[in-house]
Structure 1
Amino acid sequence: MGRQHTSRGALLTSNLPQLQNMIKRDPIGYRDEFMQQWNHYDSIRKIFKISPEEQASHFRELVSFISQVASCYPKETAEFPSHLSTLLLESYATLTPEIRQSLVQNLVLLRNKGVITSITLLQTLFPLLPRTTSSTLRSFIRKTILSDIKTANLKTKNHKLNRAVQAMLFGMVERGMSGEVIGDKGKMKAGAAGDAARQYGAEAMWAVVLAKELWKKSVWNDSKTVSIIALGCFHPVTKVQSASIHFFLGSENEEEKDSDDEEEIPDAGGLKHRREINKKTRSGEKKIAKQLKTIRKKEHNKRNAPVTANFSALQLLNDPQTFAEKLYDYLAKHDKRLSLDHKVLIMQLLSRVMGSHKLCVLSFYTYIIRYLAYHQLQVTVILVSLAQSVHELTPPDVLTPVIRKLATEFVHPGVGSEVIAAGINAIREVCKRQPWCMEEDLLGDLIAYRKSRDKAAMTAGRSMLQLYREVNPGMLKRRERGKEATMNNRDNKPLPFGHNPDTPANIEGLELLEDHLDQMRKEAADGADGEGGLDEDDDAAWEGWDVESDSEEESDSDGWNNVSDDDDDLVISDSDDEKDKSSSKSKTKTKSTSDDEKEKDDEMKDEVTETNEEKTEEVQRVSTLATTKILTPADFALLNDLRIKAANEAIQSGQSTKSLKRKLASLEASRKASSQNPDAFLSESDILGPRKKAKSDYAERMASIQEGREGREKFGSSKGKKNKEVMSSSTNREKKRNKPIMMIMASGAVRSKKKASLREKQRKLRAHIEKGKRGGH
């Protein structure tokens, strides 16, 4: 029989990858073959809706094939993406995991080929996140959403996509706001309504997670993103609310894991156990040693990772006063239902919003006063929240009962020294922000602890005394005000409540920055042969800014007059006042006033005039720099360094005083604080004060030991390794020869020889002789 030839259509029908390749090369020529497969797909799709188990693998192959070539036939496959989306959203529960994965991947493929838009894809993927139970598929959907939004905003902001996605996220959070929960865990009630509410809660959780991730990746950094997470702070589900609050607090140790692909630290004990069991190989030892080193590094970074507040997100809150009031109302309303940990979390956020925006929620202090007890759990976090909520616009009358409660509960002889130190430090932090809340008799009792024998209480008492020496020395007794306040006779009282400070006329040490910049300009000019330098950089920095000129024509046209230093009528001095005083006194004096007294008066007038002229020149010099240059944070950091340098030079030159040393210490502390985190809020260590180092647990001790062994040679004696031609250790016989005689005399072998009978000695002697004969042959 002759060989049977298969037709081209039958061959391509049975081989979809080959047909896919041919269609991509010639879409028009293979249109009939594609339409045949499309009709086949349409018929199988109708069967698949009724019975998903029948022909599932063939249906998956057809979907993958059409997704690959859909861009070649846009009119014929116009409804294909909607088929996939409808099948996923309406029949998700009846589909097998393989079909779900395939449909989602093909939708992403259609988006990559430009068949559908990002908005269409995201409208299908967002509802799938809370419904899927597969961690692999959930992670894939999450990564797809984040990467798609990030890619769309890579070059420029895609405002259309961002607005659409933010509206979807806002709706996901808002749908579950009316749900009712039971218990302190914030779980929804059972029943049909409870199931829908739980679904809405899962959607809200994913909306908050995605918004946080996009903020963290700097894809979204606008107020709309903050509004989505701010709405989550009032969600009835506690898990959603906790995740939203942690976003504003900037906490890393969150209760929930909002990241499925978060990199977990492997177990070091498991690796060591595996090394002991498995076969010992050199490559395996190196691999495990490398993994252990990575684990130690990750654990070190995790322990020392700073926790900073999300200050920029707090500043972008819309209507922070209403937000703070609603937060307090939620806290007071659900006080019995919420757990203590969650209530403390809400207190932290409320206090930071009040402190950063200078808000007044006066009922908060009445609420928090019930938790001010030294035996209260998490009392240090509560004290931090109390101090952070206070600012200069907080009424002192509201804070005075709080201060009195702190002193009654924490500062008395019946508690430990750490409790006393924490109480005084908490009072100090509150009084630092509102000095008028302190009572004079209570202040005297608190600063008396500066003579305590305990270091923590003594430091707290001294810090309280130093605070009121600076802000209001009038509340202290005369002997407690200090040398500087007494000698200068300062009336350094804090401003009355509600008064704003005067506009500052000068920045301390600004002339040092001006001299430094002038010197840099001269050096740059000398290096460039008198041209260029920092002036050109300054001119380039002002490009795009409308800067007023200092020319005489513009100043005259704006109504300003140039004032010369030679104008005698405008010399700023007290000479005129002195003249008026002298003229009024001269009327009462007799005519017998000597000429010498007149000459002394003239000399004093000249000295006062010269001094005031020097002050005027200094002010003009500072104001010139302040009005011609916008000082950046780098300039202020440089100014701080220059002030520290000038203070060190003054101390080395012999001008060392206590005030100068305190000034130097404060400058160094401000530089250290600015280098660490300028937006950091109050921490628990500020309340606890200096403490003795706590005893390390077993894991910390082992970690310290392992860290100290890194880079050292292997343990053991190096005598046989360095002092011999061939590396070898000493034998037991060599060690016995070097033993002291007294140790040998007390050994069991010597004692047995002394106590041996004649028969035993003969036996040993014969054995020794026989052994020698055998060795001799």
Structure 2
Amino acid sequence: MGRGLLLTSNLPQLQNLIKRDPAAYKEEFLQQWNHYNSIRQIYLINPNEHAQNFRELVAFISQVSTCYPKETAEFPSQISFLLLEHYGALSPDTRKALVQNLVMLRNKNVITSVELLKTLFPLLPRTTSSSLRASIRKTILTDIKTANSRTANHKLNRAVQAMLFGMVERGMDGEVQGDKGKLRANNSGPTSDKAAHGGEDAIWAIILTKELWRKGVWTDAKPVSIIALGCFHPVLKVQSASLHFFLGSDEEKEDSDDEGDDEVDVSALHHRREINKKTRSGDKKLRKQLHSAKKKKYGNQPTSNNPNFPALQLLNDPQTFAEKLYDLLNRYDKRFSLEHKVLMMQLLSRVMGAHKLCVLDFYTYIFKYLTYHQLRIPSILVALAQSVHDLTPPDALTPVVRKLAHEFIHPGVASEVVAAGINAIREVCRRQPWAMEEDLLGDLIEYRKSKDKSVTAAARGLLQLYRDVNPGMLKRRERGKEAAIGMAAGSHQPLPFGHSADAAVDIAGLALLEDHLKQLREEDGVEDKEDDETAWDNWDVESDSSDSESESEGWVDVQSEGGSDIEVSDSEDEKDPEAKLEKEVDPADRISTLATTKILTPADFALLHDLRLQAAAKAVEAGGGSKAKRKLAALEAERKVAREGANEEDTFISENDILGPRKKAKADYEERMASIQKGREGRDKFGSRKGKKNKETASSSTNREKARNKPIMMILSSGAVKGKKKRSLREKQQKLRAHINLAKKSR
């Protein structure tokens, strides 16, 4: 009896004993289990009674549940029922304790991850505690990441993704409210409350999906489909978070655990400082808080938008997605603010450009925004250019190009506006050259004679573009030497709309690689035939006996169209040095057979690029002219892009491509702070260093030293000189006596 009383009042000791010998203390555990059931029934009726005792019993049973699995089989479901059905009546401490014990049961494998997540997902939008919400969020992400650490846990992923789909779909039938006008003040009533509740569930589903994508846990099309569904959610916050995911411009406030808690009220800090006691530590704390608030406001601004290209490629049915996104943009045009509409335009244009889609009504919609005084016009021009591709009908783009020319390019606007207009037209025509009219092109390239550098650069870029893609639209004197020669030879003929270039017949520079490998074999003393045969060892090809016999005889001679055999010879190059130099500069003129006998590795392609660079450099040194210099510059640019790891995301343009080179843009906060720090390097904190360099003790110069360098007219007008002339005899005697006494002391 004494042992029972002692163990009943000391649950940690009983917990330790049960873990050592569960069978010996089963009776004591059953006593505590019955006590728990009794208190649970009372707690459901009155949550304020026996709260502390109830939390202690829940923690005790969670610790020893693995020792008595049959008796505690219903315990996890009871905890989940309390959290889901009576969450509002529970105290904050009880909520936190129940969640922690439920996570403990998952760590002990008493419940599965799906059972845990079914309880935690609904709690995220309901909890008001930032610490508890952060704990739940971290638990969800860690559990899913751990389950997929070694191999993908498809069963768990399917279950979790189904729950996330349900959280997003829950509020899809609501009305799109928008973020502009009177609708923000009229968001009341049962419909808006239902949409708001569904929006809270959806925003957390989007946040968790984005976080799992960012951590690399989910990389397939399922999470992309969840966020793509969020792009059409009636709650604007869910839409914005989904759009930012595809645009790659997630802001810190969207993924924060508590958006309201991150904001710092500067006026409240100053007011509190005036009321509280004035201390030195209080001043230091205030300065630290103000610095943190300023850094959070200005230091975390996104510097650039990097589009989430893998997510764009994994979109299911991108044509339908683009059409639904345009319908949403067009239907609620008056309800959305300009910032939100620009986000939707950017995503729509990137989907159209990445998948080469045609949503022709988009160009009619964007037509009204193409004015130079329109807010966010650089972003709108970027969206316009990114939506164009080689399959976009020129008839839909010609009015847009004409509108840009009429609104942006005329003497009544600033030079920056003209440069932006020409650059926007160039980006559109670079993707679809047939959108330009010949008369308009002739007028635009005349701006290359402008006195403004940005306008001149933009016009020259447009001229060079059409020299490359369609020089026939230019006047004869504007085509340039290379384009004129190409047109005469028939090699600069533009492809009609809808046609693609012919298939490649060779790899650029492959002949150089073939010659290099042949030279290496000759130096090593290995015959080409033996090396080629060893390269194809252990390759089993299913073929008939007749085919194998024909293959063993060697290569089959291929007849050309004229009936004669194809001969590859360098005899003509030896006779004509200039022709040999030309073939070294552009080795694609000679068809190489290396790709048919050897599998090229990444190292081979790197060597091939180096050989092309060497050949182009030799051509420039030998006086190859401007063509050789441009080829060398292009090859160097390709190598730089390859080293920096650029990928297909670079196909998207930025606002800098539209604005072009400017005189000097206004520095942002980070640039100003960097300039200030650079100016402080190698300098004392305060004052100048004048008079401190060549002295034993650092000090500034005296007034007497400064007076030596003053002009004589300033000295004559000084009070000291004028005072000497007005001294009386007595004052002169006193001054002389003081000087004599000072001289005696100095000796």
TM-score scaled by length of structure 2: 0.83
Deviation at 1:234, TM superposition (A): 0.6
Distance of 2:223 and 2:669 partners within structure 1: 44
Contact 1:201 1:240 in 2 (8 A): yes
Aligned equivalents of 1:311, 1:190: Cα separation in 2:
39
CA distance in 1, matches of 2:731, 2:445: 88
For residues 574-597 of structure 1, what are the alpha-carbon distances to aligned partners after superposition, in whole Å with 9 as ceiling and x for unaligned?
Answer: 7969xxxxxxxxxxxxxxxxxxxx
Residue 707 (structure 2) pairs with residue 709 (structure 1): no
Check if 1:755 corresponds to 2:723.
no
The equivalent residue for 2:413 is 415
**Is 2:445 the counterpart of 1:450?**
no
**CA distance in structure 2 between the partners assigned to 1:447 and 1:517 by the alignment:** 47
- 1:556 and 2:547 equivalent? yes
State the distance in 1 between where 2:53 and 2:339 align.
Answer: 54
- The residue number in structure 2 matching 1:588 is none
Q: Deviations over 1:392-441 (max 9, x none)?
A: 11111111111111111112222221111111111111111111121111
SS at structure 2 position matched to 1:628: coil
Q: CA deviation at 1:755?
A: 2.5
Match of 1:101, as an amino acid? K
Partner of 1:583: none
How far off is 1:131 after superposition? Answer: 0.6
Give 1:473 deviation, angstroms. 1.0
For residues 350-499 of structure 1, the aligned pairs below 5 Å read 350-488=348-486, 489-491=488-490, 492-499=492-499
Residues 479 and 53 of structure 1, relative CA distance in 2, 3 Å threshold: same
* Counterpart among 632, 642, 661 of residue 664 in structure 1: 632
- Which of 117-126 and 25-34 deviates more? 25-34
The residue aligned with 1:595 is none
The alignment status of 1:60 with 2:58, answered yes or no, reads: no
Task: List aligned pairs for 1:4-403, cutoff 5 A.
Answer: 7-184=2-179, 189-253=187-251, 256-260=254-258, 278=280, 305-403=303-401
Residues 108-147 of structure 1, C-alpha deviations (whole Å, 9 max, x = no match): 1111111111110000000000111111111111011001
Q: For residue 373 of structure 1, give the secondary structure of its aligned residue in structure 2.
A: coil
For these two proteins, the number of residue pairs brought into alignment is: 709
d(CA) in 2 for partners of 1:463, 1:149: 51
> Distance between the aligned counterparts of 2:192 and 2:425, measured in 1?
46
d(CA) in 2 for partners of 1:493, 1:138: 64
Shift of 1:658: 1.3
Instruction: Classify the secondary structure of the residue corresponding to 1:729.
Output: coil
Deviates more, 1:14-23 or 1:313-322: 14-23
- Cross-structure match for 1:596: none
The equivalent of 2:664 in structure 1 is 693
The whole-number CA distance in structure 1 between the counterparts of 2:541 and 2:41 is 78
8 A Cα contact 1:12 1:19, kept in partner:
yes
One-letter amino acid of the counterpart of residue 674, structure 2: A
| 1:597 aligned residue | none
**Counterpart-to-counterpart distance in 2, 1:635 and 1:266:** 57
Q: How does 1:617-766 map to 2 (within 5 A)?
A: 622-625=592-595, 628-629=598-599, 632=602, 639-655=608-624, 657-674=625-642, 675=644, 677-678=646-647, 679-680=649-650, 681-696=652-667, 700-710=671-681, 727-729=697-699, 732=702, 742=712, 748-761=719-732
Contact 2:241 2:254 in 1 (8 A): yes
CA contact (8 A) 1:180 1:189 kept: no
Deviation (angstroms), 1:176: 0.6
Q: TM-score, normalised by structure 1?
A: 0.80
Instruction: Report if aligned partners of 2:405, 2:421 keep a CA contact under 8 Å in 1.
Output: yes
Structure 1 spans left out of the alignment, 5+ residues: 1-5, 578-602
CA deviations over 1:667-709 (Å, ceiling 9, x no partner): 3334444526321211111111111112436874343121343
Counterpart secondary structure, 1:72: coil
**Distance across 2 between alignment mates of 1:427 and 1:757:** 88
SS state at 1:20 partner: helix
Deviation at 1:194, TM superposition (A): 2.7
> Kindly tell me: are residues 749 and 220 of structure 1, through their superposed partners in 2, closer, same or farther at Cα, counting changes over 3 Å?
same
Shift of 1:91: 0.9
Equivalent position amino acid for 2:18 in 1: I
Whole-Å separation in 2 of the counterparts to 1:147 and 1:749 = 82
1 CA distance for matches of 2:28 and 2:425? 84
More divergent stretch after superposition (638-647 vs 488-497): 638-647
Q: Deviations over 1:731-761 (max 9, x none)?
A: 8598579776957766544543442334545
Deviation at 1:712, TM superposition (A): 5.7
- Distance change >3 Å, CA 16–CA 444, structure 1 → 2: same
| Separation in 1, partners of 2:727, 2:709 | 23
Alpha-carbon distance between aligned partners in 1 of 2:326 and 2:520, rounded to the nearest angstrom: 54
| Aligned partners of 1:555 and 1:561 also within 8 Å | no
1:506 and 1:619 in contact (8 A); partners too: no
> Hey, what does 2:507 align to over in structure 1?
507
Deviation at 1:184, TM superposition (A): 2.5
Cα offset for 1:257? Answer: 4.1
Structure 2 alignment gaps of length 5 or more: 566-570
How far, CA to CA, are the matches of 2:622 and 2:204 in structure 1?
64
Cα displacement (A) at 1:652: 2.1
Displacement of 1:372: 1.1
Are the counterparts in 2 of residues 514 and 625 from structure 1 also a CA contact under 8 Å?
no
Deviations 1:14-45 (A, max 9, x none): 11111111111111111111111111111111
1:462 Cα deviation from its structure 2 partner? 0.9
Q: Is the 8 A contact 1:209 1:258 kept in 2?
A: no
> How far off its partner does 1:309 sit?
0.6
1:312–1:701 Cα change, 3 Å = closer
1:137-174 Cα offsets, whole Å, 9 max, x none, are: 11111011001100110011111100000000001001
Question: How far 1:767 moved relative to its partner?
Answer: 7.7
- Report if aligned partners of 1:246, 1:254 keep a CA contact under 8 Å in 2: no
CA contact (8 A) 2:120 2:136 kept: yes
Decide whether the 8 Å contact of 1:452 with 1:458 is kept in 2.
yes
Contact 1:449-1:457 at 8 Å conserved across structures: yes
Alignment deviations for residues 161-192 of structure 1 (CA, whole Å, 9 cap, x no partner): 00000000001001110012434368694223
The farther-off stretch of 177-186 and 243-252 is: 177-186
Give how far 1:557 is off: 3.0
CA distance in 2, matches of 1:262, 1:622: 66
Q: How far apart are residue 647 of structure 1 and its match?
A: 1.7
Deviates most, 699-708 or 427-436 = 699-708
Summarize deviations over 1:520-541 as a string: whole Å, max 9, x none.
8999x89xxx9xxxx99x98xx
Three-state SS of the structure 2 residue aligned to 1:256 is helix
Amino acid at match of 2:327: D
Amino acid at match of 1:365: Y
Counterpart contact for 2:62–2:101, Cα < 8 Å? yes
| C-alpha distance 555-320 of structure 1, shift in aligned 2 (>3 A) | farther
Query: Helix, strand or coil for the counterpart of 1:75?
Result: coil
Preserved contact between residue 122 and residue 201 of structure 2 (Cα < 8 Å): yes
Letter in 1 for 2:114: I
8 Å Cα contact 2:511-2:590 kept in structure 1: no
Aligned to 1:71, what secondary structure does the other structure show? coil
| C-alpha distance 196-384 of structure 1, shift in aligned 2 (>3 A) | same
Using the aligned pairs only, state the percent identity: 61
For 2:475, the aligned partner's letter is K
Compared with structure 1, are the counterparts of its residues 15 and 763 closer, same or farther at alpha carbon in structure 2 (3 Å cutoff)?
Answer: farther
